[in-house]
Structure 1
């Protein structure tokens, strides 16, 4: 029993004394500075071509084929009846004669049908219903151009938040792909600076208030750290701006490890950034970290 309690006490001591891997990650795995409500962004799907129209086009072609076959069969039947009347129930008439008579009957039937349709339908009306109006492509092009102009006028550039309470208004002339690519690189750079206690390099990326918090947290760690970012991805989860300030929130996801401690953990950080729009060439600064 005494041996069991000794082992239990040793396990508890190691658990509470051993440093957690989060403490060696940038920010110490804690939340600092400003915080905002965020939500994943969803890309608005472009309007797709009406598949119903395509589906309707195929039945039209099929119906025309059916009409052709039906007309041929009707003509053949009519030819058979004519042969029955004039040939004494097919006496003395060959099969080719029946086909010729049926074809003639079919052509006469189609001519009568075309004449009746022309008389009963105003000029161009049937073509418009069939989708062959010469003005229809121009109308579709005009509607598509209007839709494109409306979408380009939107500030979110084809993106929207999945939460109605979370703004997603991108600043003017904002290149989101380039920004997210740079954010992934900056995540690695800042983690390396955190490992080597290069606080001056970190100062370039954060606001003065956040830098004070981070400096105090890094002082709790001794010497070099060995947190390695295995892979990381970035997603914009909030965006807003006014005449003076632009705000962005980036959610990082990935994996990091500490080879010295033999620890691997997920990356689930959110950085909140701001940029002064009044000052020319002002940089984006991290103003808050959510762990």
Structure 2
């Protein structure tokens, strides 16, 4: 009975440790949340076209294949083989230790450790599948009346406000007129207006990326409310409440940014900025690559600045 109780205590401790590791995540939890851009979706769905090779080059590249023969499919690896093989090896070691007279205590300890490792592996696989499947539906965003990125309340750096598109009567606004006149629900085109300071916009977007990561780690709801749309703020607030008192730490190791384009809707502009690089999610954790798009919105009326409306994962 005491041995069974020890096993359950060990498994419970491993579950608690694993839960603390899972809760540590960057802004948005590494998922697609909030408003999504159809242009980004179409861009990811369209594979890059490879240059056409000369008729004789295809046959020379793979001499053992026929011209219209598809490459052989690679056998898929079974994810369960690793844990099962490790468990079997551990059982063998436990039996060997018992046979050699090391005592039942050592064999029991090894069995408990193996069970804990098996539980961790299974829970990690289940959580990974849930994270891949938990993608909220697309939510349209209305005009926003609060201050945000690019407003006068922002700290001392150039505002993220594309003046050429804030006044429809200007030359750049006229250039975007066909985009704004598209019916609701129809795909918009990406454009960067002439004279728009894309470099300054991207630089300030990188500043906000780091600032919002820090606000999310510190559960600074005031900062998050100011620089995000109401829909996205509600999602981020729920994530903060779900993690509870667990510490969240995100270190930006490397950050690259690219303005993909600006699309115009009936009530607002939507600028898509692609962020990539390396993040360290959790104290002492290894840096991991990431690639995601932040969708920033701004009312056509110019009543407020740019705010983060959604995060879109790539790949």
**TM-score normalised to the size of structure 1?**
0.49
Bigger-Rg structure (1/2): 1
- The TM-score normalised by the length of structure 2 is 0.45
